[in-house]
Each structure stands twice: as C-alpha cells, then as structure tokens.
Structure 1
Amino acid sequence: MRHFLTTTGITGLLFGAALMAAPSTASAASFDCDSGKLAADEKVICDTRSLNDADVKMVTTFDILTSLLAMGNRGKLQEEQSVWLKKRQACGEDVECIRGAYAERLKQLDEAYKGLSRPL
C-alpha cells in the first residue's frame, strides 16, 4: 500500500492543528514573545504574523518528526536545528532573510520526513 499522506499533506495538517491549538496571545511556538529578553530575529517573528505562523509550523513539524526518528537520527536532526537557528539569528531584523530561513528549514524537514522508513 502506498503512503497516501504527502509531505505537504502532513505539514499542512500539522500546521492547521498547531494554529487551532495556539493561544490567542502573541506567542511563537519556539519562544515566548512576552519575554523581555528577545533577540532581534525573535522580535521580528513576534511582530510579523506570517513569520510567527512559519515558526509554529516549523517547530510542530520538527517535534513530530523528532518523535518518529530513531535515537541516532534524533541527535542529527537536533544538531541540524541548532545550526539552522544560528543562521536564522544571523538574519537579525531582516524579514526576507528570516522568511527564507524558514522556507529552507521546512524544506529540509519535509525531505527528512520523505526519507523515513515505513512498513510495507
């Protein structure tokens, strides 16, 4: 039997669920927007709805993918996430740079999902 959930389908489903579960106050999924200690990129993400939504989608996809991976691959995915986070932080207040960083990371996570071993 072929796997009928495409990557777009799974991330879309996850994103929809995350948005429905998200609190009504301004809060990104991976950090607290009400914190007084936000980095420049985090401030922009909190102030830009599309970037906030991208953060919710990315962290939800990352968390679910992490739970599906074997222990050794989890560490690799977490290391990649740390590298990506530094890249996003280097964007500072540049909205397009941050938007591109999220697009790149979501593509990487989608590829990781496609590469998962599935039972026949």
Structure 2
Amino acid sequence: MRHNPTAIILTGLLIGLAIPALPRAAAAASFDCDRADLAADEKVICDTRTLNDADVKMVTTFDLLAGLMAMGNRDKMHEDQSAWLKRRQACGEDVDCIRAAYDERLKQLDEAYESLNRPL
C-alpha cells in the first residue's frame, strides 16, 4: 500500500499546528504558569489538575463575592486573601497542605456569601 507523501506532510503539519492550541491545565490558573519565577506552591498548582481547578474556583468565587460586598468589607476580604496566600505559600511543595488551604479558603468564601444580606 502506497501513501501519498503530500497527505503525510499535510497531516503532520496539521497535527503540529493543533498541538499548541490544545488546552493546558496550567493556562487556567489565576497566575501565569509560564513565569520563570514561580514559587514552589505555584509550580505544584500548575502541575496538579485538581489544585489548578481549586485555584480557578477560589479566584472566581473571590471575585464574584468581592463584587457583591460593600466597599468597606472588600478591604477586609483582600486582607484575608493576602493572609491566606501566605499560608498557602508556606505549604511549599506539599500537595495535601495546598489542597487543605484551598478547602479552607473556599469554605470561608462560601460562609461569607451565605452571610450577605440579600433581599428575599
């Protein structure tokens, strides 16, 4: 069976062009996973799909909640987020520690959402 060399070349070219377009877990994190100066915890988040997903969920929840809060409460929310980031960074490469940090923060954000005064 003979193969058409042009078809083989075109197929290879199409595959070569399609690979960079495939989604990467790292592209979804709330920070640039391609940075050269990533901290240890950030590298682990970029390399671990479940942590990457937790990061996206946390940032999305944080941003939505910040938009619903009164201006004075947003400052406190940002202070809490900064303190949480320091705790997460202290985890280094410990996946379980990072996962627990995300679980804790998401729980805090969910509780903050539930405590908002909302009209009936």
> Once the 2 structures are TM-superposed, how far is the Cα of residue 29 of structure 1 from its aligned partner?
3.2
**Other-structure match for 2:112:** 112
**Other-structure match for 2:23:** 24
Does 2:78 match 1:87? Answer: no
**Matched residue SS, 1:27:** helix
How big is the alpha-carbon RMSD for the aligned residues of Structure 1 and Structure 2?
Answer: 1.2
> Once the 2 structures are TM-superposed, how far is the Cα of residue 72 of structure 1 from its aligned partner?
0.3
Unmatched 5+ stretches in structure 2: 1-21
Alignment of 1:11-50 (within 5 A): 24-25=23-24, 26-50=26-50
For residues 55 and 93 of structure 1, what CA distance do their matches in structure 2 show? 15
**Other-structure match for 1:60:** 60
> Once the 2 structures are TM-superposed, how far is the Cα of residue 28 of structure 1 from its aligned partner?
4.0
Unmatched 5+ stretches in structure 1: 1-22
Amino acid of the structure 2 residue aligned with 1:116: L
* Structure 2 length-normalised TM: 0.79
For residues 41-76 of structure 1, the C-alpha deviation after alignment (integer angstroms, 9 at most, x for no partner) is 000000000000000000000000000000000000
Query: Comparing both chains, which one has the higher relative contact order based on Cα–Cα distances under 8 Å and sequence gaps of 6 or more?
Result: 1
> Once the 2 structures are TM-superposed, how far is the Cα of residue 30 of structure 1 from its aligned partner?
1.9
For residues 29 and 47 of structure 2, what CA distance do their matches in structure 1 show? 14
For residues 74 and 37 of structure 1, what CA distance do their matches in structure 2 show? 29
* Structure 1 length-normalised TM: 0.79
Q: In the alignment, is the contact (CA less than 8 A) between 2:65 and 2:113 conserved in 1?
A: yes
Across the two proteins, how many residue pairs are aligned to each other? 98
Amino acid of the structure 2 residue aligned with 1:37: D
Q: In the alignment, is the contact (CA less than 8 A) between 2:41 and 2:89 conserved in 1?
A: yes
Higher-Rg member (1/2): 2
Amino acid of the structure 2 residue aligned with 1:41: D
**Matched residue SS, 1:24:** coil
Q: Give me the identity figure in percent.
A: 76
> Once the 2 structures are TM-superposed, how far is the Cα of residue 27 of structure 1 from its aligned partner?
2.2
